[in-house]
Amino acid sequence: MELKLTWHGHATWLLETGEHRILIDPFVNENPAATVKADDLTADFVLITHGHFDHVADAASIARRCSAKLIANFEIASWFQQHHHVEDTLGMNLGGSVSLPFGRLKMTVAHHSSQLPDGSYGGNPGGFLLELADRRLYFAGDTALFSDMRQIAAGGIDVAVLPIGDLFTMGPEDSIEAVQLIEPKVVIPAHYNTWPPIEQDVELWASAIREHTGAEPMVLEVGKTVSI
Ligand code: NI
Ligand code: MN
């Protein structure tokens, strides 16, 4: 089955199965790296990994306009419903899975923080393990390296999306170790080159992935759609 992926810069991803559009961590209007605005994006599902501004900023407007189902941890899902009038939300928590029209989704552990932009408690940060279109995808979210990534990836991962920007998340070196634990077929870098503090030489990163892991690095251009 066809599966398309578009990077809208930073940690914003659009997955398209042909039938469903799944938008992860929409942050484009104030994202200096993005080439689209929130009004250009449509989605059936909006997935949120954690409460930080650079992951939730455009979620409410898109979810409301598209009548999308917003999926996040319980605290964040409630926050969107109560404070941002997002009607269709699904709150879950770490380790939980759910079957959805596009496939199966599991909320995985991430080592990070999750305060919401207005100071509200944002629960625990997470990542997503998605099983759809005969593929298993792991969006790690904002996280440090942790050895349980091996456990999360048990059963095989086709595509892993990992942060490499450093400072707020793991950096390039730790991402190499993460790939050694996850052993995905393909690894895609995220959360870098949005602002100067998280600038990285992604070509250098890609060579290191080729040299030290069995995964194929796939560096996406912002705004460009690829088949995965
Ligand atoms: Ni964050
Ligand atoms: Mn972030």
pLDDT at 123: 98
pLDDT at 194: 98
Q: How many angstroms separate the Cα of 85 from the Cα of each of 30, 104, 121?
A: 21, 26, 18
pLDDT at 110: 98
Residue 16 has pLDDT above 90, yes or no: yes
**Interval 57-72: pLDDT, tens:** 999 999 999 999 999 9
Q: Which residues span the domain enclosing 93?
A: 4-227
Cα(227) to ligand 2 centroid in Å equals 25
Cα(219) to ligand 1 centroid in Å equals 21
Cα(4) to ligand 1 centroid in Å equals 25
Ligand nearest to the CA of residue 122, numbered in listed order:
1
Residue 227 has pLDDT above 90, yes or no: yes
- For residues 102 and 85, the answer to whether their CB atoms sit within 8 Å is no
Mean pLDDT of 27-43: 98
Whole-angstrom distance, CA of residue 86 vs CA of residue 82: 8
Angle at 83 between CA 80 and CA 87, to 5 degrees: 50
What CATH number is associated with residue 79? Answer: 3.60.15.10
What's the domain count of the chain?
Answer: 1
Residues with CB under 5 A from ligand 2 (ion): 52, 54, 142
**Interval 143-201: pLDDT, tens:** 999 999 999 999 999 999 999 999 999 999 999 999 999 999 999 999 999 999 999 99
Using a 10 angstrom Cβ sphere, with 0-12 exposed, 13-18 middle and 19 or more buried, the burial of residue 180 is middle
Residue 61, φ and ψ in degrees, nearest 5: -65, -40
Ligand nearest to the CA of residue 51, numbered in listed order:
1
pLDDT at 199: 98
Cα(1) to ligand 2 centroid in Å equals 31
**Interval 107-146: pLDDT, tens:** 999 999 999 999 999 999 999 999 998 999 999 999 999 9
